[in-house]
Amino acid sequence: MKNLFTLKKYFLKYKTDLIWGVVFILVSNAGTVYLPILLKNAINDLQFNTTQTKMIEYALLIVGTSILAGIFRYLIRQKIIVVSREIEYDLRGDFWSHIQKLPLRYFQNTSTGNIMSHATNDINAVRMFIGPAVMYSIDTVMRLVIVVSIMISLNWQLTLYALLPLPVLSVFVYKIGKLIHEKYIRIQENFSQLTTLAQENFSGIRVIKSYVREANEIKKWNKLSQEYIKKNMKLVRVQAVIMPILYIITGLSIIIVIWIGGIKVIEKEMSIGDISAFVVYLGILIWPMIAFGWVMNIIQQAEASMKRLNKIFSEPYEIDDSEQTIHSIKKIKGEIEFRNVSFKYGENLPAVLKKINLKIPVGTTLAVIGHTGSGKTSLVNLIVRLYDPTEGEVLIDGYNIKNIPLDILRTNVSLVPQESFLFSDTVFGNISYGLREINEKKVKEVSAIANFDKDVESFPDGYQTIVGERGITFSGGQKQRASLARALATEPRILILDDSFSAVDTHTEEEILKNLRNYMKERTSIIISHRISTVKDADLIVVIDNGIIAERGTHDELIALNGIYADLHFKQLLEKELEELS
């Protein structure tokens, strides 16, 4: 239970509603319990001489009490279950605001599916505890106390006999609930095996067809399906027991009442009306007893889920403002310096960047070129603090970027990541993503620079066209140009393009670069690329190889050096020739 204790603050927030909920449970139970007493009295009266009007009185009383109890039953749900939804809302909100602050490292080590499962399944399991579990346990306890004391007042011996089977019911439901949960997990495992096999088969269909192994794969599938049936039937065997056992236990109580109660009636110890009241009381008790066993399972599952949630809540932010943050920094000019920067993604992983020293003066353009995996992306990720360096420091305008307020840093440095990611929003919404207010002029302006304006004009709804599955699916090049425009719109002091033209054809790329020249005049910029054509005009070009700066200089200097850069240059010329060959 210690994990669920975290929920205390949420409970306290809604304590008035919860207290009212408990009061309502009490009142409605009083009504529910009064009904059988009315019934008993009516039946007892019927055995002796009574009048029609007396019966009508009883009938009206029954309906009246029932309406009253019903109203409060309604209010209970409106209080307690609603509170559970409110707390679910708060909890998920807290969860999300925490998730948003976690570093990129966390998202790279945790699958999206995993995070999603916490946000939905785990939070839901906790919700079940807050709502139904709390409601039913209070309800059960109250009912039990009231009903049992009335039953005892009617006849304590019969009460004892009749209630004997009911605790068994609770234990049974609890045990079987657990058993079902276990079997269910087994089934889920088997089901995911089926899914994996299907996934594997359809991905590897070419190999299967090549080696004519279809029949064999089908055999495997059928075998797994057979097992799946078996596992399912194991669950069925348990589940099928539930209803019969419920019948037996509840039916047994009633039979005891009729038999032993019947004897007592014959012996004039009790009346038929008492017996009726007993039967109805048993009916009232059965559901709470079932719920009780069920609630125990909910609590266990909620505890496990809360444990997982608490683990996420304790994940450190890693990258955030700290005590060293110099809050007086309000602006950034744009000089970047790497001082002895080394970086690795994990303690036991090899260094991706090794002792990098590099200075980029304000207003200049640096180009970074190198093979896949050489460390180019890691280098620029450090500038926006998606990661912090393992050793050394990155400085902007002479300040260690760890001391620059994160807000100032990220609003002044704009990185266009390698994988263009657009939200399923309108084109306008995507491009103006980084803007604080709507600025149509700006959006059009930057779209033109990114050579995206003509594309937008061709879309059915222009800038209001929705991007993604629910609207228009962009080509790789369109995605890249849109995310370039998005970055340009923020008017950053430092612009970083991480291989942002890879899906754009060379001709368009040249035009964009031409447009950018003016835009970048006052700004510092870093361009990562595989293409010589993209980088050749930069003020400084560095070739990264295996985490170190292998070559640096201008285009002409590097060609003269006749190293990696020159080789790349030669090959790209050849490729161009081949492509142009008809």
Positions 417 through 476 that interact with another protein (CB under 8 A):
417, 421, 423-424, 433-434, 466, 469-470
Applying CB under 8 A, does 1 fall inside the site for another protein?
no
Within 10 Å of residue 89's Cβ, how many Cβ atoms?
13
Is position 188 an interface residue for another protein (rule: CB under 8 A)? no
Nearest C-alpha neighbor of 384 from the set 408, 356, 352: 408
The least CB distance from residue 496 to another protein, in Å, is 10
Q: Which of 26, 119, 179, 503 binds another protein (CB under 8 A)?
A: 119
Give the nearest distance from C-beta 409 to another protein in angstroms.
9
Query: How many CB atoms sit inside 10 A of residue 106's CB?
Result: 16
Residue 351 within binding range of another protein, rule CB under 8 A = no
Does residue 349 touch another protein according to CB under 8 A? no
- What span, in angstroms and rounded, lies between the C-alpha atoms of 485 and 366? 20
What is the signed CA dihedral for 506, 508, 512, 515, rounded to 10 degrees? 120
The residues with which 282 forms a beta bridge, in sequence order, are: none
| Consecutive H or E run containing 174 | helix 165-203
| Binding window for another protein (CB under 8 A); candidates: 156-164, 218-226, 294-302, 338-346 | 218-226
# residues contacting another protein (CB under 8 A): 136
Q: For another protein, which stretch binds (CB under 8 A), given 170-178, 359-367, 404-412, 557-565? A: 404-412
561 binds another protein (CB under 8 A): no
Lookup: tokens for 101: 């602050």
Which CB sits closer to another protein, 94 or 511? 94
Sequence-distant (≥ 6) Cβ neighbours of residue 352 within 8 angstroms: 343, 344, 345, 375, 378, 547
The answer to the question of residue 164 lying near another protein (CB under 8 A) is no
Task: Report d(CA 306, CA 124) in Å as an integer.
Answer: 10
Q: What is the C-alpha to C-alpha distance for residues 357 and 500, in angstroms, rounded to an integer?
A: 24
Residue-by-residue DSSP string for 332-374: ----EEEEEEEEESSTTSPEEEEEEEEEE-TT-EEEEE--TTS
The residue range among 112-120, 160-168, 333-341, 513-521 that interacts with another protein, by the rule CB under 8 A, is 112-120
Closest CA to 83 of 134, 29, 117, 125: 134
CA distance 23 to 21: 5
Q: How far is the CB of 2 from another protein (least distance, A)?
A: 27
Site for another protein in 223-242 (CB under 8 A): 225-226, 228-229, 232-233, 236-237, 239-241
Distance, CA of 32 to CA of 43 (rounded, Å): 18
The three-class DSSP label of residue 186 is: helix
Does residue 101 bind another protein (CB under 8 A)?
yes
Smallest gap from Cβ 554 to another protein, in A, equals 26
Q: Which of residues 353-392 bind another protein (CB under 8 A)?
A: 384, 386
| 288 strand-pairing partners | none
User: Least distance to another protein from the beta carbon of 420, Å?
Assistant: 9
Cα distance between residue 122 and residue 421, in whole Å: 28
Q: Please report whether residue 326 would count as binding another protein according to CB under 8 A.
A: no
Asked if 168 is part of the footprint of another protein (rule: CB under 8 A), the reply reads no
Among 37, 148, 168, 406, binds another protein (CB under 8 A): 406
Residue closer to another protein (CB basis): 168 or 406: 406
Task: Considering only residues 16 through 75, tell me which ones interact with another protein, judged by CB under 8 A.
Answer: 32, 35, 39, 42-43, 46-47, 50-52, 55-56, 58-60, 62-63, 65-67, 69-71, 73-75
Q: Measured between alpha carbons, how far is 68 from 456 in angstroms, rounded to an integer?
A: 63
Q: Does 531 bind another protein (CB under 8 A)?
A: no
Could you say which of 202, 323, 398, 441 contacts another protein (CB under 8 A)?
A: 202
Residues numbered 259 to 318 that lie near another protein (CB under 8 A) are: 259, 262-263, 265-266, 272, 275-276, 279-280, 283
Q: Does 157 bind another protein (CB under 8 A)?
A: no
